[in-house]
Amino acid sequence: MPRILVACEFSGTVRDAFKARGWDAWSCDLLPTETPGQHIQGDALTILADGWDMMIAHPPCTYLCASGLHWNKRRPTRATQTEEALGFVRRLLDAPIARIAVENPIGCIATRIRPADQIIQPWQFGHGETKATCLWLKGLPKLQPTNVVSGRENRIWRMPPGKDRWKQRSLTYQGIAQAMADQWTLTA
């Protein structure tokens, strides 16, 4: 049975999509899982060499996304946090795993590490939303759209401030998780 690590995932959405396809699927995050299942609460970097066949990583975008980089000039400590976040992404991309996908919004990964292999949108996978999501791929094909819908709402961008806004903005859409599981299972 192939093994997948879904790094930096607390929702269980991607993990459970792969589990439904017969994978030994594990999520790992500093936070506890919101959905019961195989979850390691801790630092994903400590388990990268544990014999995974695939990893999908969702590194926190706070210090990486284009919408927040303007703060680096206003708050000197943020520039250091961006460098640390880029180091984390490099370690994920360099993990000893044959098939890797790292996802993040448009930001400095593309200019500081390498351009994204693909940019996808939720509306390509059955959700009437816009939320450009970059994918950096190793050993995996680009995702093919599965259900292009006409809606182009920008709900995620317009969310009002709140204590859980970051959590809601970071969730993977079910249609994207399903496409990953359906299409990338074929590569294992």
Q: In 3D, which of 174, 182, 106, 110 has the Cα closest to residue 143?
A: 182
Contact 106, 119 (CB under 8 A): yes
pLDDT at 135: 98
> Along the 188 residues of the chain, how does pLDDT read in single tens digits?
999 999 999 999 999 999 999 999 999 999 999 999 999 999 999 999 999 999 999 998 775 675 665 565 677 787 778 789 899 999 999 999 999 999 999 887 899 899 999 999 999 999 888 889 999 999 999 999 999 998 776 666 565 666 665 556 667 899 999 999 999 997 76
- Looking at residue 86, its pLDDT comes to 93
pLDDT, position 187: 73
Fold exhibited by the domain 3-185: Rossmann fold (3.40.50)
pLDDT at 57: 97
For residue 25, give the 3-state DSSP assignment: strand
| Confidence (pLDDT) at 75 | 74
**What string of DSSP letters covers 134-155?**
EEEEES-PPPPPSB--S--B-T
Could you give the angle at the alpha carbon of 131 between the alpha carbons of 100 and 69, nearest 5°?
Answer: 80
Domain ranges of the chain: 3-185
How much of the chain is in helix, strand and coil states, percent to nearest 5? 35, 20, 45
Cα four-point dihedral sign 145, 56, 68, 113: negative
Q: What pLDDT, on a 0 to 100 scale, did the predictor assign at position 77?
A: 80
